[in-house]
Amino acid sequence: MSRADRVLAEAQAVLHRHGDRRRSLSARARQRRIAALMRKLKYTLWAVIAVLVASGVAGFFIPLGTTGVMLALGVMLATVLLIAALPLERSVQVGALAETPLSALPLQTEIWLENQRKALPAPAAALIDSIGVKLETLAPQLERLGDQEPAAQEVRKLLADHLPELVTGYQSIPQPLRREERNGRIPEQQLIEGLNVIDTEIGRMSESFASGDLNRLAIQNRFLEMKYQEAKELGH
């Protein structure tokens, strides 16, 4: 089996292994859509109330008549249609990732990746599922990280630069050429290999942050044990 075939086989294995993770990502995406829909309904309700109140106030000073009522209904309908036309979830642009606050970067990257799914081959989409799960774990860890710390800059470069460049670079290749070998490399295999590397690197970062937290916890526990022992000795 060639190296390229092994990479594809490993990616297919990821597809089966992370089926439950895919459902988890879909559930989170569904929750975001439901929350966005509820916001839309709230905005629609407030817009309708605002039009009714404005019409009522105007009616105290100027008789609305049939024309006024029709105008108010027209404004109300136009407002409802405008709110309904708004997308449920704001799309994430590649350029915006570089300006996204560090703590929000994993979620924004996950949303952006989810939107690229249909343009990627199945094995790559499976790796995106794995990356999405790791991003969910990484997000709360980044909340305690300063933007200027080397680790923060490493995370930002990986999520805002390397990952988007890999995906958009693949998408820029014409469809018929994505599986053709060129200079000993096949674009689809390069994409899968790159996503594999990024998936592994995000996992390594998360483990590194967790290791630091565990070390701090162990030091704190040891400190408390020493203080407790001192208190016991003083009590005697």
Length of the chain: 236
Contact in structure between 32 and 89 (CB atoms under 8 Å): yes
Contact in structure between 99 and 109 (CB atoms under 8 Å): no
* Residue 235 domain-assigned (yes or no): no
* Residue 231 domain-assigned (yes or no): no
pLDDT greater than 50 at residue 7: no
Mean pLDDT of the chain: 78
Amino acid symbol at 145: L
* Residue 212 domain-assigned (yes or no): yes
Measured over the CA atoms of residue 49, residue 54, residue 60 and residue 62, the dihedral's sign is negative
Structure tokens at 25: 């990502």
- With a pLDDT cut of 90, the percent of the chain lying above it is 17
Number of folded domains that form the chain: 1
* Residue 236 domain-assigned (yes or no): no
* Residue 198 domain-assigned (yes or no): yes
* Residue 69 domain-assigned (yes or no): yes
pLDDT tens column, 141-183: 888 888 888 888 899 999 999 999 999 999 999 988 888 888 8
- Whole-number Å distance between alpha carbons of 46 and 38: 12
Structure tokens at 195: 């996503």
Alpha helices in 62-149 (DSSP H): 65-85, 94-97, 105-116, 122-142
Contact in structure between 152 and 146 (CB atoms under 8 Å): yes
* Residue 209 domain-assigned (yes or no): yes
Reference 129, options 6, 29, 36; nearest CA is: 29
Q: Would the pTM count as exceeding 0.75?
A: no
* Residue 96 domain-assigned (yes or no): yes
Domain of residue 138 covers: 3-224
**pLDDT score at 223:** 63
pLDDT tens column, 100-149: 999 899 989 988 988 888 889 888 878 888 898 899 889 888 888 888 88
